[in-house]
Amino acid sequence: MGTRDSKKKPAAKPAGKAAKAVRPAEPAAPVLSEVRERIDGIDKQIQSLIAERARFAQQVGRAKGPLKAAVDYYRPERESQVLRKVLDRNDGPLNDEVLLRLFREIMSACLAQQEPLKIGFLGPEGTFSQQAVIKHFGHSARGLPLASIEEVFQEVEAGHADFGVVPVENSGQGTIQSTLDMFLTSNLKICGEVELHVHQHLMSRTGRLEDIERVYSHPMSLAQCKAWLRQNLPKAEKIPVASNAEAARRARTADDAAAIAGESAGHVYGLKVVSGPIEDRQDNTTRFLVLGRELFSPSGHDRTSLLVFVRDQPGALYNVLSPFAKYGVSMNRIESRPSHTGRWQYAFFIDVSGHVEDEPVKKALSELGDYAADVKVLGSYPVALL
């Protein structure tokens, strides 16, 4: 018995030479029930392969020896290698971002078989930091919303969280100095980075632009939407708050208030979208760092973050930079900050390509030690994939 969709006849084949002039016939429409049968078969295979993978991941866990907690099983360098292979193999039709998300979730679930990872982030629920946590660790990790970036550092240091995720720079607004400055005193290590496309939405209880007299948001988000706000809400009061999710929480309390935040914060606090995305730059991206308590092995595509305290002498910066040039290590970023060790003393935050265990980086660092007052390796970690 055919269904409505299964009755379609295959198109007639063109015959002989005369057929060359004829436009090629459309391929016959597939028979729905047959295609669904194929999909059922494939789903069955995928399911048993995922189960098989999960069993092998358990074996990997056993091969690592009797470890105490999930954090001991986590291997960011291996995860990055697995995901790179997924991207290299991708011939479509699904795009890289989608495939990455799917495989990330599979790995996240495999790891959570031991015990879910606990990840501290700048809360409350619905912040971009939470989105970064999910992008990097998947939904099987347990997020711990915390009140401030300082608290994220503290909770990881104290071992209450396995890892922390903190924003460090935005493509349009630059560095988040308060995050960088935490490394001046903290001994935590950077063990990953996440890049997140940030889409801002104006949201309110009524969903009507004409009702809005106050707009709450994180100062960085207000800055990212400055031109839009000038054009569309020139008279509204702009009120900076600690996070976008906090803005959404406040906007929930009055009809004349609105928040600029990610859509997920709007969902958490039951707001309607007035307009979005409203960021002034379409490529608005925030980079987050993953904080942990130890360094991990090289993945093959790594970045190293350094904190270099310089001596106050002529050519100090030149001396700091030259070992990297000498050993062909490319520098991705350099930023100077007051070092908090004395008045007018500076420290340089430097990102270079490669891992501290890679020979060129190792050589450059040993030479740098001769010129710098102190060098702190903040971390070597896989470069963000997408």
Ligand X SMILES: O=C(O)C(=O)C[C@]1(C(=O)O)C=C[C@@H](O)C=C1
What residues make contact with ligand X under the rule CB under 6 A?
57, 60, 73-75, 78-79, 82, 107, 110-111
Minimum CB distance to ligand X, residue 276 (Å): 35
**Environment class of residue 164 by beta-carbon count within 10 Å: exposed (0-12), middle (13-18) or buried (19+)?**
buried
Minimum CB distance to ligand X, residue 67 (Å): 10
Element (H, E) at 241: none
User: Which C-beta is closer to ligand X: that of 110 or that of 278?
Assistant: 110
**What is the phi/psi pair of residue 282, to 5°?**
-70, -30
Half-sphere exposure (Cβ direction) of 269: Cα atoms closer than 13 Å? 29
Nearest residue relative to ligand X (C-beta): 110
**What is the phi/psi pair of residue 233, to 5°?**
-135, 55
Q: How many helices (H) and strands (E) does the chain have?
A: 13, 15
User: Which C-beta is closer to ligand X: that of 110 or that of 329?
Assistant: 110
User: Which C-beta is closer to ligand X: that of 116 or that of 126?
Assistant: 116
Minimum CB distance to ligand X, residue 96 (Å): 18
Q: Do residues 193 and 381 lie in contact, with contact meaning Cβ atoms separated by under 8 Å? A: yes
Minimum CB distance to ligand X, residue 54 (Å): 8
User: Which C-beta is closer to ligand X: that of 56 or that of 318?
Assistant: 56
**Environment class of residue 217 by beta-carbon count within 10 Å: exposed (0-12), middle (13-18) or buried (19+)?**
buried
What is the phi-psi region of residue 25: left when phi exceeds 0, alpha when psi lies from -120 to 50, beta otherwise? beta
Matching residue, tokens 């980086």:
361
Residue 297 CA: distances (Å) to CA of 81, 171, 354, 369: 12, 28, 11, 22
User: Which C-beta is closer to ligand X: that of 75 or that of 238?
Assistant: 75
User: Which C-beta is closer to ligand X: that of 73 or that of 163?
Assistant: 73
Three-state secondary-structure class, residue 1 = coil
How many degrees, rounded to 5, is the angle at CA 18 between CA 13 and CA 23? 60
Minimum CB distance to ligand X, residue 64 (Å): 7
Three-state secondary-structure class, residue 371 = helix
User: Which C-beta is closer to ligand X: that of 101 or that of 363?
Assistant: 101
Cα–Cα distance for residue pair 363/346, rounded to 1 Å: 24
Minimum CB distance to ligand X, residue 273 (Å): 36
Minimum CB distance to ligand X, residue 172 (Å): 33
User: Which C-beta is closer to ligand X: that of 217 or that of 299?
Assistant: 299
Minimum CB distance to ligand X, residue 293 (Å): 16
